[in-house]
Amino acid sequence: MPAAATGDTVLVLTHQDVRSVLDGHEVSILDAVRRAYILHSQGVTAVPHSAFLRLPDQPRDGAMALPAYLGGAGPTAGVTWIASFPDNIERGGERASAAIILNSTSTGRPEALLEGSLISARRTAASAALAASALGTGQDAAGVTLVGCGVVTFETLRFLHVVHPDLHEVTVHDLRRERAGAFAARVARELPSMRVRFEPDRGRALAAASLVAIATTAATPYLDSRTLRPGALVLHTSLRDVTPEGVLAAVNVVDDADHVCRADTSLERAERLSGNRSFITANLGDLLLAGTTGIRDPRRTTIFSPSGLGILDLAVARFARDRALRANRGIRIDDFLPARDEFLPGRADFLSGRADVPPGPAGVDGVGGRTGEDRDADFAAPGEAGVGERLTGAVPA
């Protein structure tokens, strides 16, 4: 186990810190996400519904909080706070931005604050790739159509390439040609074995492959799954692209029915249309747990619709945090939180057996005249970095 930033130290990981500890570790990220899904199926998670913030007079802008608890070995609790401001793209930035807080499961105190946009994109991509792998892409694994040329489809391509190393034909479609151009340039830099072709006609793009990954910002469904190749597999990450009729006609795999059938997703629309959820065939976690595939129907489209459970963020954030601690990366802040005995001086020492007198008013700064410096010395581990000191060690492989 790494020397944890537990107790009173908060570890802050910037975007570059997170990138440096995640890059090249796709297999471990897939494994972390797989374990999180399995724990969810085993009932050792807590995932309350997300809370949505809408900004008055800014109908396109908002943010979402995803609180979660991930049990099992090394349990983790925390929250993802992710904002979506589509006009950021016009300003040359990314639509989504995020922060993740990890809390101690013994004291509840925050232990780590991580830049969350990359974690969110990669856990989402890993989830789509796991589904593709579990559901089987068969003889069509050489090609994929990507609808929406954004952050999530790029990461999805990266992770699909890990589970399907033969994948090399990529057809991309986006409402905005310049997004497709930038996407293709990035693929050429980072995934050079892939051949990317932009298809401006959506119908032709969708007909190009029987593996389709969709991550757009569409709010109104436009895609009837019955127009796709027979037996196609759709990784429906953006959740609002497929018409409710198209959902009802498909084999549907989700991550959690209660989560995915809300917030006006295609699945909630399908539930409203049909009056029930019997169109949902399986949960990905159950399939991973049982090792079962074979639920696809060669005549119907199979659609994987992941709500994006906060436990996936926790799983990948924990992986990033542990690697950063091992590599001495990030910023450690020792006085972010109040000292444990700030409000009841001396109590922390008393509870931990380091003081043999109960808390009381004696002394300037607590029991027996202990000073703030004394307390700090008690809580500081030997050789720890100073307050706010930046640590930039090499990342172990």
Ligand X SMILES: NC(=O)c1ccc[n+]([C@@H]2O[C@H](COP(=O)([O-])OP(=O)(O)OC[C@H]3O[C@@H](n4cnc5c(N)ncnc54)[C@H](O)[C@@H]3O)[C@@H](O)[C@H]2O)c1
Which range, of 11-19, 70-78, 135-143, 172-180, touches ligand X by CB under 6 A? 172-180
- Residue nearer to ligand X on the CB measure, 103 or 120: 120
Using rule CB under 6 A, residue 150 touches ligand X: yes
Which range, of 13-21, 22-30, 231-239, 269-277, touches ligand X by CB under 6 A? 231-239
What's 223's DSSP letter?
B
Q: How many residues lie near ligand X (CB under 6 A)?
A: 24
- Residue nearer to ligand X on the CB measure, 221 or 366: 221
Q: How far is the CB of 282 from ligand X (least distance, A)?
A: 17
Q: Are 367 and 352 in contact (CB under 8 A)?
A: no
Using rule CB under 6 A, residue 96 touches ligand X: yes
Using rule CB under 6 A, residue 239 touches ligand X: yes
Where does the chain show beta strands of DSSP type E? 10-13, 45-46, 51-55, 58-70, 76-84, 96-103, 110-115, 143-147, 169-173, 195-198, 211-214, 233-236, 251-254, 280-283, 302-305, 329-333, 390-392
Q: Please name which of 230, 226, 228, 244 lies closest in space to residue 305, comparing C-alpha atoms.
A: 244
Q: Are 246 and 223 in contact (CB under 8 A)?
A: yes
What's phi and psi for 360, nearest 5 deg?
A: -165, 180
- Residue nearer to ligand X on the CB measure, 12 or 119: 119
Q: Please name which of 225, 374, 356, 369 lies closest in space to residue 301, comparing C-alpha atoms.
A: 225
Using rule CB under 6 A, residue 160 touches ligand X: no
Which range, of 38-46, 212-220, 321-329, 359-367, touches ligand X by CB under 6 A? 212-220
Q: Please name which of 64, 61, 118 lies closest in space to residue 87, comparing C-alpha atoms.
A: 61
Using rule CB under 6 A, residue 5 touches ligand X: no
Using rule CB under 6 A, residue 176 touches ligand X: yes
CA atoms within 13 A on the CB side of 272: 11
Q: How far is the CB of 155 from ligand X (least distance, A)?
A: 8
Stated length of the chain:
397
**Which of 28, 105, 217, 328: binder of ligand X (CB under 6 A)?**
217
Q: Tell the burial category of 18 from Cβ atoms under 10 Å away from its Cβ (0-12, 13-18, 19+).
A: buried
Using rule CB under 6 A, residue 256 touches ligand X: no
**Which of 76, 80, 210, 216: binder of ligand X (CB under 6 A)?**
216
Q: Please name which of 34, 105, 25, 8 lies closest in space to residue 324, comparing C-alpha atoms.
A: 25
Q: Distance between CA atoms of 43 and 284, rounded to whole angstroms?
A: 14
Which range, of 10-18, 28-36, 236-244, 280-288, touches ligand X by CB under 6 A? 236-244
**Which of 76, 104, 238, 252: binder of ligand X (CB under 6 A)?**
238
- Residue nearer to ligand X on the CB measure, 112 or 205: 205
Tokens, residue 157 = 């391509």
Using rule CB under 6 A, residue 204 touches ligand X: no
Residues 328-387 interacting with ligand X (rule: CB under 6 A): none
Total Cβ atoms within 10 A of residue 262: 15
Which range, of 9-17, 141-149, 163-171, 287-295, touches ligand X by CB under 6 A? 141-149
**Which of 130, 218, 228, 261: binder of ligand X (CB under 6 A)?**
218
Residues 262-281 interacting with ligand X (rule: CB under 6 A): none
Using rule CB under 6 A, residue 76 touches ligand X: no
Total Cβ atoms within 10 A of residue 257: 16
Contacting residues toward ligand X, per CB under 6 A: 95-96, 120, 124, 147-152, 173-176, 179, 215-218, 237-239, 306, 308
